[in-house]
């Protein structure tokens, strides 16, 4: 009886040892995959660029995270290993032990002649039982080759990160495309602060310089640029003033004859020729300007 139970226990221990080996192979394979992915997508670079304070150096976070992912995934894959009935596996692999092994094990405490004869017979048959034969050889080989391939690939990528890693700019563009964010500013942009202090903040793509310091007016709590440039319109670009153009011309202190004088009157005569509606608009504008 003792001999029979010892042999059965040896087979069980060998089987669970094989399952532990498969667990390690799965952990290494999954770890290698995720560690290689972290190198390709430069996770360490983005961790260094982030504003988060890590208790450990960011450089060792990717391999640690990949290891934990590998362990967790392997645990999920092997969560039912402890519930496997090894006795049934032995009977399925060795038909001569069909039902005999379970009967002998269930009656292991019995001492009558029939049970003792059965135990002796089972003890003889169980001698050639090998734990490795209880598992599919193809499954063992496939897991072994997969682990070796993934470990080798991760090692190659880790030793040549510049060759296999994706540039951070490309990763950022892909992320913006997936999330729907865009670096280009296509709509109105809100400027916070005084325009005189805004440097390198406005351009066709959201960055650049403001030419000069604009004259501003505060109307209903909003800063509005009221600077008017001669000739401004579609396609107009602010440039340095031409010294030969727009020369200052002083006007008369007071127009003597607003209707007939040929002396420059600063545009007063032109103003008088406006319609009443135009005069009211000009007057209203002048009043609003005086309040600034």
The DSSP annotation for 178-238 comes to HHT--SS--S-----S-GGG--S--STTS----SS---EEEETTEEEE----TT-STT---
- Give the pLDDT confidence score for residue 258 in this predicted structure: 46
Q: What is the pLDDT of residue 54?
A: 78
Q: Which letter, b or e, does each residue of 126-159 get, where b requires 16 or more Cβ atoms within 10 Å of its Cβ?
A: beebebeebbeeeeeeebeebbeebbeebeebee
pLDDT score, position 53: 79
Percent of the chain with pLDDT over 70: 68
Q: Give the whole-number percent of the chain exceeding pLDDT 90.
A: 22
Quote the pLDDT of residue 230. 56
What pLDDT does residue 87 have? 87
Residue pointed to by tokens 């800063």: 223
pLDDT number for residue 27:
96
Per residue in 96-143, pLDDT (tens digit) is 888 888 888 888 888 888 888 888 888 888 888 888 888 888 888 999
Q: What is the pLDDT of residues 169-201, one digit of tens each?
A: 888 887 777 776 655 544 444 444 454 454 544
pTM of the model: 0.57
Backbone angles phi, psi at 109, to 5 degrees: -95, -5
Q: What is the pLDDT of residue 243?
A: 54
């Amino acid at each position: 009886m003792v001999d029979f139970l010892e042999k059965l226990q040896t087979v069980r221990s060998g089987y669970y040892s094989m399952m532990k080996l498969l667990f390690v192979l799965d952990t290494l394979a999954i770890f290698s995959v995720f560690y290689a992915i972290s190198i390709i997508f430069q996770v360490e670079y983005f961790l260094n660029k982030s504003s988060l304070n890590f208790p450990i150096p960011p450089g060792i976070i990717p391999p640690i995270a990949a290891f934990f992912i590998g362990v967790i995934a392997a645990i999920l894959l092997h969560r039912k290993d402890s519930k496997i009935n090894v006795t049934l596996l032995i009977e399925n692999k060795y038909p001569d032990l069909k039902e005999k092994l379970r009967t002998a094990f269930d009656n292991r405490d019995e001492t009558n002649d029939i049970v003792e004869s059965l135990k002796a017979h089972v003890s003889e048959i169980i001698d050639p039982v090998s734990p490795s034969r209880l598992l599919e050889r193809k499954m063992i080989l496939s897991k072994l080759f997969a682990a070796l391939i993934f470990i080798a690939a991760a090692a190659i990528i880790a030793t040549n990160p510049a060759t296999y890693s994706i540039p951070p700019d490309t990763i950022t563009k892909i992320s913006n495309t997936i999330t729907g964010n865009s670096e280009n500013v296509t709509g109105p942009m809100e400027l916070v602060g005084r325009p005189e202090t805004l440097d390198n903040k406005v351009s066709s793509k959201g960055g650049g310089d403001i030419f000069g310091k604009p004259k501003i007016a505060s109307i209903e709590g909003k800063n509005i640029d009221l600077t008017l440039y001669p000739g401004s319109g579609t396609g107009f670009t602010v440039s340095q003033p031409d010294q030969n153009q727009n020369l200052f011309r002083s006007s008369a202190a007071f127009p003597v004859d607003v209707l007939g004088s040929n002396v420059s009157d600063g545009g007063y005569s032109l103003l008088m020729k406006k319609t009443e509606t135009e005069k009211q608009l000009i007057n209203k504008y002048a009043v609003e300007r005086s309040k600034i």
